[in-house]
Amino acid sequence: MTVVKILVVDDEKKIREFFSDALRSKDFEVETAKNGEVAIKMIDQNFYDVALIDLNMPKIDGMFVMKYLTENAPDSIGIILTGYATIKNAVEAMKLGAFDYLAKPVKMEEVLLIINRALEFRNLKRENLALKNQLKKKYQFENFVGDSPEMSKVFRIIEKVADTNSTILILGESGTGKELVAKALHYHSMRRDKSIIPVNCGAIPEDLLESELFGHEKGAFTNAIRTRIGRFELANGGTIFLDEIGEMSPHLQVKLLRILQEHEFERLGGTKTIKCDTRILAATNKDLDKLVQDGKFREDLYYRLKVIPIEIPPLRERRSDIPLLVHHFLEVISQSKGKEVYGISKEVVNTLTEYDWPGNVRELENIIERMVILSESSTLTLQDLPDKIMKRWPEDNTTDQLIPDTGISLNNSINEYERLLIVRALEKADWVKNRAAKLLNMNRTTLVEKIKKQGIQKPAELDG
C-alpha cells in the first residue's frame, strides 16, 4: 500500500506539532507549512493526498491556499480548520472545493474520520473517472489525446474522411502520431471489422518489399517454393498502411500507381490480374515535395496520394497538448507497469511543457515511462526529471509570470536573453569588445562569434 501524504498548513507551531505527531502515529506521512506562501510552494513541488489548512493566517490566508489547491492539484483533498467557524466561511470554503470544514479545537478522532472518508470518496471518484474514460475511449479516438486547436483540427478531418474510400497521406515529423492517425482512420471506417495491415516501406529491402506487397507465384524466384499472398490481398476489404512511403523505389511506385488507378495488380511471376478493394493510407516524415523536385518520387503518384493530406504539427508547435499527454501517459504507464505513481508536481509539468521535444510524442512517452519506472514515490517531482530536460528555476518562484498557458519556446527565450545581455555588456563597455568580453567572463573570440551569430550591430549614431 502506498503511504498517504498529508500537508498541515498552520501558522501556529503548536498546532503543526500536534497534528504531525498524531497523524504520524497513524502511519501517515506528514509535512508542514508555516504559512500560505510556503504551502503554495510545497503544493507546486509535491503531491499531497490531503491538506489540512488553517483559515486564519497572515498575508496568504487559508481560503487562498484552498483555492490554489483546487486549481493546481485537483486530485488532492483540502480540509479547512479554523478557530472562527462561521456559516459564511464554511460555505465559501466548500465552494472553493474544500472537502470539509472543521472548527477548532478539533478532536483527533474527528479529523481521522474525515480524512478516511475523504480518501474513500476520492477512490470512488477515481474509479468513476476510469469507467467514464473507458466508455469515452470506446467511442472516441482510442488513446489518442490532444485538445490544442491544431490537434482538434486533425481530429475533425479524421472524422470527416475516415468513412470514405479516399487515399490519405499522413505527414508529420517522427513520433508525432502518424500511425495513430492511420489506426483512427481505419477504426472509424466501415472497414473496421477487417484488418489494417501496416507495411514499413523503409525497413524492407526493395525486392522483398515487392513480394511482401503483391505476393508471388510458386517458382517466381529461386526461393519461391510456394505461392504467397501479398499484403494488398491480405488487406482486401480492409486497409493497408504504407509507412515511410518516401522510401519506396521508383519501380514499386509505378505498381502502386496502378493499384491506385485501376485497383488491380499481378502477383510476382504471375499473369492473372487480381482485383482488390483495399483502402490505402500512406505516411512519411520526408518532404515529398522535395523528393518530387529531386526526381526521387513520381509526381503523378504524389498527386494521387495527397488528395487528402493530414498534417500533424510537431509537439513544440502545440504545447498546450503537453500537460494532457503527460497525464495520459502517467495513467497508462503506471497502470501497465503496476506502479502507483499518479501524482506529478506542477513544476514538472511546466518544465516538460517548455522542452522542445525533437522526438515529439514518442520521446515524451519514453521520458514518462522512464520516470515512472525509476521513481521511488507516488509522485513525480523535479528530481525525477532527466538532466537534459531539467532547467533550474530561480529561487523566487516566478514561473507563472514567465510561462503563459500557451507555453514558450525555451530555445528562443534563451537566445533572446543572450542577445540582451550581450548588448547590455557592449553598451556598458562603450562597444569595446575586449571590455565587454571581460564583463561577460568570456574570451573575446567567443564574444565576437556570438555577436556575429546574433547579428548585433553597433547603432549608427555611435559610429565614428
Ligand X SMILES: Nc1ncnc2c1ncn2[C@@H]1O[C@H](COP(=O)(O)OP(=O)(O)OP(=O)(O)O)[C@@H](O)[C@H]1O
d(CA 173, CA 363): 12
Stretch of 170-178, 274-282, 386-394, 452-460 contacting Mg ion, by CB under 5 A: 170-178
Question: Applying CB under 6 A, does 247 fall inside the site for ligand X?
Answer: no
Q: With residue 452 as reference, give the H or E element that holds it.
A: helix 444-454
- Grid-cell match 487515399, residue found: 167
Taking a C-beta distance cutoff of 8 angstroms, is the pair 353, 323 a contact?
A: yes
Q: With residue 130 as reference, give the H or E element that holds it.
A: helix 108-139
State the pairing for strand pair 215-216/228-229.
Answer: antiparallel
Q: Which does 174 bind (CB under 5 to 8 A by kind): ligand X, Mg ion, none?
A: ligand X
Distance in Å, CB of 148 to ligand X, minimum: 10
Q: What burial class does residue 292 get, using C-beta atoms within 10 Å of its C-beta: 0-12 exposed, 13-18 middle, 19+ buried?
A: middle
d(CA 157, CA 178): 14
Residues 4-63 that bind ligand X (CB under 6 A): none
Stretch of 41-49, 177-185, 211-219, 437-445 contacting ligand X, by CB under 6 A: 177-185
β-bridge mates for residue 81, sequence order? 54, 102
d(CA 394, CA 432): 31
Q: Which does 145 bind (CB under 5 to 8 A by kind): ligand X, Mg ion, none?
A: ligand X
Spell out, one character per residue from 332 to 371, where the chain touches ligand X: x when CB under 6 A holds, - when not: -----------------------------xx--x------
Stretch of 32-40, 99-107, 173-181, 400-408 contacting Mg ion, by CB under 5 A: 173-181
Measuring CA to CA, which residue among 285, 351, 290, 287 is closest to residue 314?
285
d(CA 27, CA 299): 70
Q: How many residues lie near ligand X (CB under 6 A)?
A: 18
Give the CA dihedral 137, 143, 145, 151, nearest 10 degrees: -100
Residue type, position 249, single letter: S
Distance in Å, CB of 366 to ligand X, minimum: 9
Question: Applying CB under 6 A, does 323 fall inside the site for ligand X?
Answer: no
Spell out, one character per residue from 376 to 415, where the chain touches ligand X: x when CB under 6 A holds, - when not: ----------------------------------------
Question: Which set of grid coordinates corresponds to residue 348?
Answer: 514538472
Stretch of 65-73, 102-110, 179-187, 375-383 contacting Mg ion, by CB under 5 A: 179-187
Q: Which does 356 bind (CB under 5 to 8 A by kind): Mg ion, ligand X, none?
A: none
Question: Applying CB under 6 A, does 175 fall inside the site for ligand X?
Answer: yes
Residue closer to Mg ion by CB (options 179, 340) is 179
Distance in Å, CB of 361 to Mg ion, minimum: 11
Q: Which does 246 bind (CB under 5 to 8 A by kind): ligand X, Mg ion, none?
A: none
Measuring CA to CA, which residue among 58, 44, 43 is closest to residue 7?
43
Question: Applying CB under 5 A, does 179 fall inside the site for Mg ion?
Answer: yes
Distance in Å, CB of 190 to Mg ion, minimum: 24
Measuring CA to CA, which residue among 70, 77, 74, 91 is closest to residue 121?
77
Q: Which does 16 bind (CB under 5 to 8 A by kind): ligand X, Mg ion, none?
A: none
Q: Which residues of 78-91 are buried (b: 16+ CB within 10 A; e: fewer)?
A: bbbbbeeeeeebbe
Taking a C-beta distance cutoff of 8 angstroms, is the pair 6, 48 a contact?
A: yes
Question: Applying CB under 6 A, does 158 fall inside the site for ligand X?
Answer: no
Question: Applying CB under 5 A, does 363 fall inside the site for Mg ion?
Answer: no
β-bridge mates for residue 196, sequence order? 239
Stretch of 167-175, 260-268, 340-348, 386-394 contacting ligand X, by CB under 6 A: 167-175
Distance in Å, CB of 176 to Mg ion, minimum: 9
Q: By CB under 6 A, name the binding residues for ligand X.
A: 143-146, 172, 174-180, 285, 325, 328, 361-362, 365
Q: By CB under 5 A, name the binding residues for Mg ion.
A: 178-179
